Structure 1
Amino acid sequence: MNAPSPSDVGRLVHLGIGNFARAHTLQATAVAGGWSVVAFTGRSAAMADALNAQGGRYGLIVRGPEADEVSVLDVIDEVHPAADVDALVALLADPFTAVVTLTITEKGYAAGSDPATSAPARLALGLKARREAGVEEPIALVSCDNLTGNGEVLGKAVRAELDEETAAWFDDHVDVISSMVDRITPSADDGAADTVREQTGFADAVPVVTEPFTEWVIENRFRGRRPEWEKAGVQLTDDIEVHERRKLRLLNGAHTLMAYAGQIAGVQRVDEAIGHREVRALVEQLWSEARATLPLPADELDAYTAALEERFRNPRLADNLIRIAADGTAKLPVRALPVIAELGGPDKAPGEVAAVAAWTAWVTDRVRTGHEVQDPKSAEIAEAAGLEDATERITALLALLDVPAGDPLVAAVVAEEQRLPRP
Structure 2
Amino acid sequence: MSVAQPEGRLVHLGIGNFARAHTLLATQRASGWSVVAFTGRSAAMAEALTAQDGRYGLIVRGPEDDEVEVIDVIEAVHPASEVEELVALLADPLTAVVTLTITEKGYTAGSDPAVSVPARLAAGLRARREAGVEEPLALVSCDNLTGNGVVLREAVLAAADEDTRAWAADHVDVISTMVDRITPAAGEGAAELVRERTGLDDTVPVVTEPFSEWVIEDAFRGRRPEWEKAGAQLVEDVGVHELRKLRLLNGAHTLMAYAGQVAGCERVDEAIAHPEVRALVEALWSEARSTLPLPADELDAYTAALEERFRNPRLADHLIRIAADGTVKLPVRALPVIAERGGPAQAPGEVAAVAAWTAWVTDRVRGGHEVADPRAEDIAAAAAEGTADRDRVVALLGLLGVGAGDPLVEAVLAEEPRLPRP
Q: TM-score under structure 2 normalisation? A: 0.84
Which of 190-199 and 298-307 deviates more? 298-307
Shift of residue 313, structure 1, vs aligned partner: 0.9
Unaligned 5+ segments in structure 2 are: 384-391
- Partner of 1:289: helix, strand, or coil? helix
Residues 321 and 74 of structure 1: CA distance in aligned 2, closer, same or farther (over 3 Å): farther
Superposed displacement of residue 86, structure 1: 3.7
Q: Residues of 2 paired with 1:37 and 1:70: CA distance?
A: 21
Contact 1:345 1:408 in 2 (8 A): no
The CA distance in 1 between the partners of 2:22 and 2:145, in whole Å, is 17
Distance 1:410 1:204, change over 3 A: farther
Helix, strand or coil at the partner of 2:381: coil
Q: Which residue of structure 2 lines up, in the alignment, with residue 336 of structure 1?
A: 334
Change (3 A) 1:54 1:259: farther
- CA deviation after TM superposition for structure 1 residue 330, in Å: 5.8
SS of the equivalent of 2:349 reads helix
Per-residue deviation, residues 367-408 of structure 1 (Å, max 9, x unmatched): 9856583xxxx5x4333233245357525643xxxx366583
Alignment-derived partner of residue 396 in structure 2: 394
Cross-structure match for 1:203: 201
The match for 2:213 among 215, 222, 226 is 215
**Aligned-partner SS, 1:142:** strand
Q: Give structure 1 stretches of 5+ with no counterpart.
A: none
Separation in 2, partners of 1:10, 1:393 = 56
**What value does the CA root-mean-square deviation take over the aligned residues?**
3.2
Q: How many pairs does the alignment contain? A: 411
Deviation at 1:131, TM superposition (A): 2.5
Partner of 2:241: 243
Verify: 1:188 aligned to 2:186, yes or no. yes
Letter in 2 for 1:291: R
Structure 1 residue aligned with 2:308:
310
1:78 aligns with 2:76: yes
The correspondence of residues 256-405 of structure 1 with structure 2, limited to 5 A, is 256-325=254-323, 331-356=329-354, 358=356, 365=364, 369=368, 373=372, 380-388=374-382, 390=392, 394=396, 397-398=399-400, 403=401
Which residue number corresponds to residue 229 of structure 2?
231
How far apart are 1:357 and its partner, in Å? 5.0
Pick closer, same or farther for the CA change 1:202–1:170 going to 2, 3 Å: same
Return the offset for 1:71.
0.7
Identity of aligned residues (%): 74
Aligned residue identity for 2:71: L
In structure 1, how many angstroms separate the alpha carbons of the residues matched to 2:160 and 2:347? 41
Structure 1 residues 149 and 209: alpha-carbon distance in aligned structure 2, compared to 1, 3 A threshold: same
Shift of 1:287: 0.6
Residues 394 and 410 of structure 1 are in contact (CA less than 8 Å); yes or no, is this contact kept in structure 2?
A: no
Q: C-alpha distance in 2, partners of 1:327/1:113?
A: 31
CA shift in 2, pair 1:355/1:48, >3 Å: farther
Residue 162 (str. 1) matches residue 171 (str. 2): no
How has the CA–CA distance of structure 1 residues 391 and 212 changed in structure 2, closer, same or farther, with 3 Å as cutoff? Answer: closer
Structure 2 letter corresponding to 1:158: V
Q: Is the 8 A contact 2:256 2:319 kept in 1?
A: yes
Alpha-carbon distance, 1:226 to partner: 0.8
Letter in 1 for 2:72: D
Offset at 1:218?
1.6
- CA separation of 1:268 and 1:16: change in aligned 2, threshold 3 A: farther
Q: Structure 1, residues 290-320: CA drift from partner, whole Å, max 9, x if none?
A: 1011122323322321222122112222333
CA deviation after TM superposition for structure 1 residue 52, in Å: 2.7
Q: Distance in 2 between matches of 1:279 and 1:188?
A: 29
Local SS of the residue matching 2:315: coil
> SS at 1:146's partner residue?
coil
Contact in 2 for aligned 1:107/1:330 (Cα 8 Å): no
Structure 1 residue 118 displacement after superposition: 4.1
What are the Cα deviations for residues 170-216 of structure 1, in whole angstroms up to 9, with x where unaligned? Answer: 21111111222232322223222222122112222221122222222
CA spacing shift, 1:317–1:94, aligned 2, 3 Å: same
2:67 to 61, 66, 69: 69
- Report the counterpart of residue 150 of structure 1 in structure 2: 148
Change (3 A) 1:122 1:281: farther
Output the amino acid matched with 1:394: L
Q: What is the alpha-carbon distance in structure 2 between the residues aligned to residue 226 and residue 343 of structure 1?
A: 41
Q: 1:136 to 1:328 in 2, by over 3 A?
A: farther
